[in-house]
Structure 1
Amino acid sequence: MAKEATDLTTIDLFSDDKRPGRPKTNPHSRSVQVRINKRNQVKRDKTNGLKRVEFKIHENLINQLDQLAKNTGSNRSELIESLLVKALALDEN
């Protein structure tokens, strides 16, 4: 019996064939890759003098911040940082 590429009834003949798709380029699982990437990001941020801050605020305020960030052409993190810097500068005066 000849091996025909379009023959789906003899799929067992193709079990050793390479499957199409993205080749595996990293020996680690995805969860390990995420942990490694996050650790590297924290190291990069630390060398750049950045510190992570997390807090909870109401969704309406988030929407306002997002809109203001979009209008100013920055992201939410940069906007919050600039607002804090301005508030602290006003407090010093």
Structure 2
Amino acid sequence: MAKEVADLTTIDLFVDEKRPGRPKTNPYSREVQVKINKRNQVKRDKSKGLKRVEFKLHHEVFAQLDTLAKDKGVSRSELIESLIIEALAKD
């Protein structure tokens, strides 16, 4: 007996066939994964002695920081940290 893809009565013949698409590799939902990843990131930063600081900047200042960071080949975070260290050293 030939096996037909559309034949639902012989579905047991298709049990071993892999279904198309990306397999689920994580049992958690995306929302839970994001929370877990964020928690792990905070732990890594804490072990490195880093502390999170948030502040708001005008978009023009942000653009200038972004451009300067790209010109120097560093991240915005590294640039802001170096600017703060430089300003604190002057006092």
Per the normalisation by structure 2, the TM-score is: 0.82
Aligned to 1:70: 70
Aligned to 2:28: 28
Per the normalisation by structure 1, the TM-score is: 0.80
Aligned to 2:41: 41
**Distance in structure 2 (CA, Å) of the matches to 1:27 and 1:89:** 49
Q: List gaps (5 residues or longer) in structure 2.
A: none
Secondary structure of the 2:87 match is helix
Q: Label 1:4 to 1:42 Cα distance change in 2 as closer, same or farther (>3 A).
A: same
Name the count of aligned residue pairs.
87
Deviations 1:3-58 (A, max 9, x none): 544xxxx4867797643121111111111111000000000000100010000010
